[in-house]
Amino acid sequence: MYPLKFKKHLVKKVWGGHGFQELLGIELPTEDNYGESWEVSSHKSGMSFVENGPFSGLSLQELLEKYKEQFVGETVYKKYGNNFPLLIKYLDINDKLSVQVHPSDDYALRVEGEFGKSETWYVINASEDATLILGIKKGINKESFFEKFNKKEFDDIFNIVSVKKGDFIDVKPGLVHASLTGSIVICETQQNSDTTYRIYDFDRLVDGELRPLHLEKAGEVINFDESPIITTSENRQTIELKNCSKEELVRNQYFNIDKLFITGKHFDDLNSNFKILSILSGNGTMKCNDEVYPLVTGDTYFIPALLNIEIEGNLEILKSYL
């Protein structure tokens, strides 16, 4: 086993832009607007394929089914089997992202046949006017929400939050969310799911048509009492390690995420399960089994279970793991 890089799966979006190339050094194949870069995925909508080393050309799913515990770790494989649990994306949002909500595992497995969608957003960059819709205002219940929705009275039903670079947002199932103003580039860690229920799309036309809404399902999964959890670098605890400052961003049943600031040579913790490193900024190297791998802004590496790695450089890294 060795650290794996996957070919990026780029997705055009009406709300996308060119931020991947400008901020993350990700080459875009056309002048179209790209809104998503799927970095690590075994989902049918955007399967990841290895682009480095002996496993080049193989999919994440093929490697999981062949190497099982050796690939993802014993506890992960025991819990999830051949269903890879995470999906890592970059998002480049330059227009209103539709008002939407994601279901829980219980609902999604019963209705959609796949996992629910708990996700997190780490803000890599944001314009000064960037705002998000995060949750429903207090006092609004299902009946009053859809009554106002049908009248298109949107001014007093959503929580509107300003965001900035470095913010971390925990978007739990049931939390209504959207982008509203400005532009924002995000690193998203989520469950392995592509289930989204669109509530409102600002009457936007795509190819001359309105995109479909999913109001009945949305009404069944919205948590009208859910409030967003947002942390910033100012209020997160920092743990000082040798040549590394670590911020613990989230710990939950679906994933753990740390932010690492590395200045020099750092021996990362040995994980019994896999981990995923998203290089948010900087450059350096990673050493594993006497092989050296370059690290630059925009890279994403999948580290199989029980691999020792040594990182050196000046780097800002998001580490996702179970």
Report which of 103, 100, 124 is spatially closest to residue 115, judged by C-alpha positions: 103
pLDDT digits over 237-256, tens only? 899 999 999 999 999 999 99
Is the Cβ–Cβ distance between 157 and 178 less than 8 Å? Answer: no
Reported as a single tens digit per residue, the pLDDT across 26-75 is: 999 999 999 999 999 999 999 999 999 999 999 999 999 999 999 999 99
Asked if 204 is an active-site residue, the reply is no
pLDDT value, residue 151: 82
- All domains of the chain in start order, with CATH: 9-69+84-231 (2.60.120.10), 238-321 (2.60.120.10)
Backbone CA torsion sign across 106, 111, 113, 118: negative
Q: Which of 143, 257, 133 is nearest to 189 (CA)?
A: 257
Element (H, E) at 80: helix 74-80
Residue 8 backbone phi and psi in degrees, to 5: -75, 135
pLDDT tens per residue across span 79-106: 999 999 999 999 999 999 889 999 999 9
Which is the catalytic residue, given 198, 204, 211, 236? 198
pTM: 0.94
Q: How confident is the model over 111-145, as pLDDT tens digits?
A: 999 999 999 999 999 999 999 999 999 989 999 98
Residue of 252, 221, 253 whose CA lies nearest to 107: 221
